[in-house]
Amino acid sequence: MRTTSRPRPLRATAALAACGAVFALLTSACSTADAVCSGGEYPVLYVGSTGSACVKDGEEPPKGYARYPEGKVPKHVDDKWWTYWNEHSLDKDGNIIEVSQ
């Protein structure tokens, strides 16, 4: 007697559902990288250092801090500008300087 193996619809459906759940989890993790600041805040750079802080929208940076130059603002932890500003800063005149580690 010869038997043939047929796919079992229930197992196939469960496997597809599991793969879909894993895919959704992985893609959502990529799109929701840790934001530098919370909603309603913007990041500021500590002058002469790689330190930073978050300031409420509409408020000026505290003494010793400055806004990041336009177009060079880090949005998410480990993004291009986050990494850049870990090695650079602004001097008291607003010039970009390299910071030694």
pLDDT tens digits, residue range 37-96?
Answer: 999 999 999 999 999 999 999 999 999 999 999 999 999 999 999 999 999 999 999 999
What is the structure's pLDDT at 100? 81
Q: Which of 13-22, 78-87, 92-101 has the lowest mean pLDDT?
A: 13-22
Question: Once rounded to an integer, what is the mean pLDDT over residues 25-38?
Answer: 65
Residue 7 belongs to a domain: no
Q: Which of 3-7, 15-19, 58-62, 95-99 has the lowest mean pLDDT?
A: 15-19
Cross-strand pairs, 35: 76
Can you give the pTM of this predicted structure?
Answer: 0.66
Q: How far apart are the first and last CA of the chain?
A: 75
Nearest to 41, CA basis, from 58, 16, 18: 58
Residue 2 belongs to a domain: no
Enclosing domain of residue 53: 41-98
Number of folded domains that form the chain = 1
7: which 2 tokens?
A: 């796919």
Residue 30 belongs to a domain: no
What is the structure's pLDDT at 32? 55
33 band by pLDDT with thresholds 50, 70 and 90: confident
Residue 65 belongs to a domain: yes
Residue 28 belongs to a domain: no
Residue 32 belongs to a domain: no
Residues in the chain: 101
Residue 10 belongs to a domain: no
What is the structure's pLDDT at 12? 47
Phi first, then psi, for residue 73 (nearest 5°) are: -95, 125
Nearest to 67, CA basis, from 48, 86, 88, 94: 94
Q: Identify whether the C-beta of residue 43 lies closer than 8 Å to the C-beta of residue 37.
A: yes
Calpha distance 64→36 (Å, rounded): 19
Pairwise pLDDT comparison (46 vs 13), residue with the higher score:
46
